[in-house]
Structure 1
Amino acid sequence: MRPKSVMLGDLCQVTPSPSSDLFTELSAEAEGTPVVTPADITSARQVDVQALRRLPITATGLERYRLRPGDLVLVRLGGVGRIALVNDRDEEWIYHSSCIRIRPDTSRVDPVYLAAYLAHPPVVDELLSHVQVGTVPVLTAGSLTGLPVALPELREQRLMAGALSEVALQMSIQHRILTRLDAVRQGLFTKMLGDEIPGTAASRPTGTQSQRKAPRTRRTNRMS
C-alpha cells in the first residue's frame, strides 16, 4: 500500500530561528546555555555534544527555543538540509539562528523515521528547490511547512526506524574499528621504521643546531 502524503506543517511544530542578536556572546568558555549550531551536526544526524558552545548564564529570551529529546534541528542557512535528531536528556539546549526546530507529533510520525526522510537525497533536493538564493542560501520556516512527507502507518514507521537505527549502530561500530586500526597501523609503521626519520627534527642531535651554508652565487664582472 502506497503511503499517504501529508504536509510537514500538519505533522510537526516548525519554529523559526531565534534572532542572531542572541548569540553575540556565544563562547566555548561560557558556563550557561549550550547552543546547537550547524557545525555541531554530524554526518550521522547527531549532535556533537563535545563541540557545543554556550551562552552566558545571564542570557535571556531563550525559552521559546529550547530543545527536547525527539526534536529535529535543521540547518536553514548556508549548508541547507543538514539535520540532527536530539537524543540527549539535557533540555537546556537551544538552537542557533542558522537553524530551524522541527517538533514532531509523535502520535502521527516517528522522529527517527522523519529525520531519515528529511535527509533522504530526493527530499533534500526538494528542500533545496525552495531555498531563497542570495549571497547565502536561506530556507524559511514557511517553505518547510509546505513540504510533502510520505507517511506510512506509524507501526511501519517504527519498524523502518528500528532497522535504520541498527544500520547506524553498525556504521558507528565500524567507524570506531577503522579509527583504531588506523592508529595501530601508524604505530606499527613507526615501530618498524624506527624513531629517526631523515630530515625531521627527531633525527637531529639534541643540543646542537644544524647550520646551513649559504648557497654560492656566481659572480660576474660587468663591463661598463
Structure 2
Amino acid sequence: MVVLVEFISTQYGDFSADLNRARLHEVCVAKDGIITGPFGSQLHKKDYVELGTPMITVEHLGDNKIIKHNMPRIKSEDIDRLSRYILRTGDIVFSRVGSVDRRTLIGSSEDGWLFSGSCLRIRPDQQKIDPRFLSCFLGLPKFKEYIRKIAVGATRPSLNTSILNELNIYFPKIDEQRKIAAILSSVDAAIEQTDAIIAQTERMKKGLMQNLLTGKQRLPMFGDNWKMVAFEQVASIRREKINPKVVGELPFCIELEHIEQSSGRLISSSKTSEQSSIKSVFHQGDVLFGKLRAYLRKYWLADRDGYCSTEIWPLIPNRRLIAPGFLFQLVMTDRFIDAASITYGTHMPRTDWDVVKGHQINLPSVPEQEAIVAILSSIDKKLDEEKKYRDHLETLKNGLMQDLLTGRVRVKVDGNV
C-alpha cells in the first residue's frame, strides 16, 4: 500500500486528487439508472398476500443490510405489471423518506424482489463502478451527513431522483474498486458472523433464564423448595442524594445513555459539573435500573461506588435473601419488565414503585442463586467478549472505509488483496 499526499476538498471531506469523479447518474445504466418505487395508485391492499414476492420498504433498510422481518409480499400475477420495480443483484436500494441515509446492496438471494415507493433504486453500470464499492462509498459518514443536509422537507426529510442523479462520486479504476470492495466485504462478513454468534448466545441465555430463574429447571445439587416473596422483601431503593452544585465535581456518574439497551453493559460514564442536577448515590453490588421508559431495558450491576441520574433506581439487594447477581438477572426478565412498565406519566412514563414492590418472585436459597448466577454470568461474559469484538470490527471497518474510499491509502491491483 502507498499513502498519497495530494487531496482535494469535497462536500464529503478530502479525497485523493488521483481519483475519478462523476455524477451518480453517470456511473449508472443509461435507462432507468435511478428510479423511485411504485406509488400507492399502483399497489392496493388486495395485491398483498401472505406468500408471494417480498417487497423492500424503508423499514427494512439497515446500514447496508436488509432487515428481513414482517416484509410485505406481492402476489405473483402482479409481478409483470410491476416489472420495472424488480430488483437485480448489484442494485442499491436507498431510503427515499425519513432516515434518508440508509441503503442496502441487493445480493443474489434478493434477486427478483421488489421495492416500494418509500425507496429509490440505483442500478450501477458494472463496467464503470463496482456495486459493492459504490454501496460502501454511500455509507461514508460524511456522505451520509451530506445526504441528510440536502434532503428536502422540514418535518419529514425526503430524497428524489434529481438529488441522487447529481451527487458527486469519487472512485479509482475498476480493478482497485473491486479489491477495496473485497477488503471491506471481508470485514462485513466477520461482523455478520459475530452478530450471528451474539444472537445465538442471547437465545440460549433467554431460554436458560426462563428455566433457571423460575425453578422449571433445577440444578442437581439443590433440592430445597423455593418460596414466593414480594420484590420489596429482596430489594429497596437507595434514597441517598448528592448535589454537585454544593459538593463540586463527581468523578464517576452514570446517565441512562451510558447503559447499553438490553445487555446490561456499561458503555461509558461521565463527570458532573457544578451545573449538574442532583444525583443518586449507589454502591458496589447495587443494581441500577432505569425507571424512565422501563421497556428500554437499562440495567447494570454496579462493580464500584458512584453516582447516577435520578431517573435510575439504585436497588439495594437484601443479601440475607438474595445475591446481587441474582437480583440483576431477575430485573432482566420479561416478567419483571412487564411489571416495571406499569407506569405513571404519559409523556415521560416512569416505573411505579408501589406496583413493583408487590411484584411476586419465586426465590431459591442464596447458595442456589449463586450457582445459577455463575451459569448465567458465564454467558454474559461470552456475550460481552463478542460485543467488544464486534465493536472492534466496526472501528476497523470505519477506519478502512475512510482510508480506502477517499484514496488516502491505495490498494495494489497486481496480486492478491
State the TM bucket, normalised to the shorter chain: 0.7 to 0.9
Kindly provide the amino acid, as one letter, of the partner of residue 172 in structure 2. P
Q: 1:178 to 1:10 in 2, by over 3 A?
A: same
CA–CA separation in structure 1 for the residues paired with 2:150 and 2:227:
55
What secondary structure, in the 3-state scheme, does the structure 1 residue paired with 2:54 have? strand
What secondary structure, in the 3-state scheme, does the structure 2 residue paired with 1:106 have? coil
Query: Does 1:152 pair with 2:168?
Result: no
Dislocated runs of 4+, deviation >6 Å: none
Once the two structures are superposed, residues 118-142 of structure 1 have per-residue CA deviations (whole angstroms, 9 ceiling, x without a partner) of 1111011121222112332110110
**Which of 2, 6, 9 is residue 25 of structure 2 equivalent to?**
9
Q: In 2, are the aligned partners of 1:70 and 1:87 still within 8 Å (CA)? A: yes
Once the two structures are superposed, residues 15-55 of structure 1 have per-residue CA deviations (whole angstroms, 9 ceiling, x without a partner) of 12322222332777444432111122233x12244542112
Q: In 2, are the aligned partners of 1:27 and 1:53 still within 8 Å (CA)? A: no
**Which of 99, 103, 106 is residue 119 of structure 2 equivalent to?**
99
Q: Which has the larger displacement, 140-149 or 183-192?
A: 183-192
Query: Does 1:179 pair with 2:199?
Result: yes
CA–CA separation in structure 1 for the residues paired with 2:110 and 2:128:
24
Q: In 2, are the aligned partners of 1:110 and 1:158 still within 8 Å (CA)? A: yes
Question: Structure 1: 5+ residue runs without aligned partners?
Answer: 204-224
- Which residue of structure 1 aligns with residue 81 of structure 2? 61
Displacement after TM superposition at 1:167 (Å): 0.5
Q: In 1, are the aligned partners of 2:49 and 2:75 still within 8 Å (CA)? A: no
Q: 1:157 to 1:139 in 2, by over 3 A?
A: same
- Which residue of structure 2 aligns with residue 210 of structure 1? none
Taking the TM superposition and a 5 Å limit, the aligned residue runs for 1:36-51 are 36-43=56-63, 45-49=64-68, 51=70
Aligned residues: 202
- Which residue of structure 2 aligns with residue 20 of structure 1? 40
Return the structure number with greater relative CO, CA threshold 8 A, min gap 6: 1
Q: 1:188 to 1:48 in 2, by over 3 A?
A: closer
Displacement after TM superposition at 1:64 (Å): 1.2
CA–CA separation in structure 2 for the residues paired with 1:143 and 1:98:
15
Q: 1:135 to 1:152 in 2, by over 3 A?
A: same
CA–CA separation in structure 1 for the residues paired with 2:111 and 2:127:
21
Displacement after TM superposition at 1:106 (Å): 0.5
Kindly provide the amino acid, as one letter, of the partner of residue 56 in structure 1. K
Could you tell me the TM-score, scaled by structure 1's length?
0.78
Once the two structures are superposed, residues 78-105 of structure 1 have per-residue CA deviations (whole angstroms, 9 ceiling, x without a partner) of 1112101110345431110010000001
CA–CA separation in structure 2 for the residues paired with 1:6 and 1:153:
13
Q: In 2, are the aligned partners of 1:68 and 1:90 still within 8 Å (CA)? A: yes
- Which residue of structure 2 aligns with residue 70 of structure 1? 90
Kindly provide the amino acid, as one letter, of the partner of residue 10 in structure 1. E
Displacement after TM superposition at 1:168 (Å): 0.7
Q: 1:197 to 1:65 in 2, by over 3 A?
A: farther
Q: In 1, are the aligned partners of 2:23 and 2:169 still within 8 Å (CA)? A: yes
What secondary structure, in the 3-state scheme, does the structure 1 residue paired with 2:184 have? helix
**Which of 165, 174, 181 is residue 185 of structure 2 equivalent to?**
165
Kindly provide the amino acid, as one letter, of the partner of residue 105 in structure 1. D
Cα-Cα RMSD: 2.6
Kindly provide the amino acid, as one letter, of the partner of residue 127 in structure 2. S
What secondary structure, in the 3-state scheme, does the structure 2 residue paired with 1:6 have? strand
Q: Which has the larger displacement, 190-199 or 72-81?
A: 190-199
Could you tell me the TM-score, scaled by structure 2's length?
0.44
Q: 1:15 to 1:189 in 2, by over 3 A?
A: closer
